[in-house]
Structure 1
Amino acid sequence: MLLLSLVTIVTLFALLGSGVWVAFALMGTAWVALEFFSPFAPGTVLASDFWGASYGWDLTALPMFIWMGEILFRSGLADNMFRGLSPWLNRLPGRLLHTNIIGSGLFAAVCGSSAATCATVGKMTLPELERRGYDSSLAIGTLASASTLGLLIPPSIVLIVYGVVTEQSISRLFMAGVGPGLMILALFMGYLIVWALVKGERAGLTGSDEASMSLGEKLRRTLSLLPILLLIGGIITSIYGGLASPTEAAAIGVVLSMIIARFNGHFDRAIFTSSLFAAIRTACMIAFIIAGASFLTSAMGFTQVPMRLAQTISEMGLSPTMLLVALTLLLLVMGCFLDGISLILLVTAIIMPVVSAAGFDLIWFGIYLVIVVEMSQITPPVGFNLFVIQSLTGKDILTITKATLPFFLLMLLSIALLHLFPAIALYLPRAMTG
């Protein structure tokens, strides 16, 4: 087992380090494992797994949600969110910095991509916050961190992928993501409030005041949030109320996103075409990685690496808490070199037997895994949100990473809270099935 594990790890990291596509790296690792450490023909297993990974009904929701996010990404939605939120946040300690957090949460709920959320919201809020005199470090930190919630708040592309490869209910996963998503938003906003109250003017959180406006004007500005709130509410209610499957809700979401984009005056033939082809490229990339991960999962099963690993860890006598700490450290290191979807697929291919043997609820573990993946989005050297912020601000990666550190620690705290109080994630799914 030691030789096989060593060969597998070396092969995987050698292929990833060579710059080949992640799907090819997964397939190459699986091929080596089957060719040299099992009696099974790699070609036959590869063909079977590629076919099996390509026709799942749940997987059809993936391109629809991606397309919906691409349409909204081009619709000018961030302008509406800033205009609708800013009048109500001016008197809250931390003031307009909360638009980064709440705006990212709202956009994440319909976009599903942390990088797209970061770029879209950041283009609107960062110049405005800088003009008003807000602390640039906190502006960057709140945006980079809150935009990762696109991976957790439903509808989530990453949760769809996890549900497909682990055969868990996507509807239950979506419901499980609501509580932790709101908890992390509350932790981020609470941090800003406390920091502003303690530091005051020295924190650079006050900024210049929004011009005073009447209640009627505030309400008129808030109406710009109505389309996105209706879209989020419609998708979530249709899924949780049993009116539509995630795939059907995704198709409805595409149509509604076109209506919203048209309502905003940002939808024409060019946007339709560019959003469609962008969605196709992203969906094909994810599907290819899923197929490669399926092949690696089979290879690991035939060579019995996961079962032996689970047995070894079981013999070590680690408590669930210590196992979770070890997994978190391992995943954070791996997340420094892999994107979120690749990390999730690699984890499910190798350590799911360990997770099952330890007694973790697989719905709960999916939420935990996504939070760790979110953290990897703001850790160098492959933290995609860091690169997005760098392109928007021109600041170096070290400065941006330092700005996100407090929020990274808050996400670690959220994992601890999720472990201590699993009902944060599991109450709604259990209520749904109970």
Structure 2
Amino acid sequence: MANPPRASRRPLRFVHAADIHLGSRVSPPPGMELETAADLIDATYAAWRSIIDLCIREEVDFLLIAGDIYESADGNIRAQLQFKEGLNRLKQNNITAYIVHGNHDPDDAWSRSIAMPENAVIFSSLEPEVFIHHDSKNKPRAAIVGMSFASAHIRENLAERFPRRDKKWPYTIGLLHCSVGGGQGHEPYAPCTIQDLRQCGYDYWALGHIHQPTVLDNGDSHIVYAGNPQGRDMGETGERGCRLVTVGADGAVEVEVVRTGGYLWQEIEIDTGECGDLGDLEERIRHELSVVSERAGCAIIGRIILTGATALHHDLVAGDGAAALAGRFIEDPPIGRYPVHPERIICRTLPVVEREAVRARDDVLGEICRQSDAAFEDTEVRDYLKEQLSSISSSTARPYLSEPDDGEVDTIIREAEALLLSWLSEGGRP
């Protein structure tokens, strides 16, 4: 009789989370009922609890947090208490949390007014540290190499200070808050390159700072931004969560994306072309919202973008059609298994005109089209428009906005053209 096969070694399992931003207020859209608005405002706390639930449910070996636990470095007491509560739940289940701090919670500013439990391993900001994680039988399962931010504005390439992998180390993980390759849309703190990370020879890099979930490399060295676990505005659309990583006995790595956010921010485009009147359009919007919410399987905060050539263009843009529709969704919110909360309605429709025929005309409408095309093609004109748009933004209550990029300029040009064509061709006034 053949001997029974030896039991395979338990896979190594861990959760990679980052940019939790506990205490970050999420602003509710207009018309949201008070109870739901309160849940949304505290959505970052709910996402943190979901991460802890996942760790316990999946019986992971440890949790990795790649910086920015808190929204600010001022030591928000409630945020610290919520964070400690989660760590205590991990402790009760013999799960360790390995933590580095980032630009929102650096060492020199974060108020440690509340002591964290001993299962929280916080990396130094002086030099990279190496911790060997052992299982319940005291066998080494993973080496975690990490370094925290000493201050908020780190411009040094911290990755260059990380040691090369020691041959004696087990499965090796780098834990760092950084900006790889520029990190579009984020301050370039602790800037580095993919090559800087690869040359360390680690198996997995658990990164933080970039809120958009991103896999930079899934080869011999997995290099991953987990993204933030809960989107907070329309700049953070799409799925948000953390990564559940399983390393088999044969070294095979499985990385699973796990949603932790209770609310999904999403842009929802709706073609208005076949709608005969605003009542038809309202019904079409409601139908599309129900389809999108069922597909997402969770509550959605949606920015509705109306597109297409339509006879309703003038009513939507020059009239109060778009505002009236927005008001309808406040008065009578969309109903479904998963609620949709319209954040705003943006009209990018076009008037029903033959543009090329209009462009060939020797009148003001033709000149509008020709000037619009010139704005696309002429570098000097585009630069002038960007300068003017930047000046407008900086002189209003929105000085925090970045300068418009080329895509935003293109959208503004086409929307301005459509608005003028609609007004003038239908006898309206700009």
Pick the TM interval, shorter chain. Answer: under 0.3
> Which of the two has higher C-alpha Rg?
2
TM-score by length of 1: 0.21
TM-score by length of 2: 0.21
Greater share of strand residues, 1 or 2? 2
Larger RCO (CA within 8 A; separation ≥ 6): 1
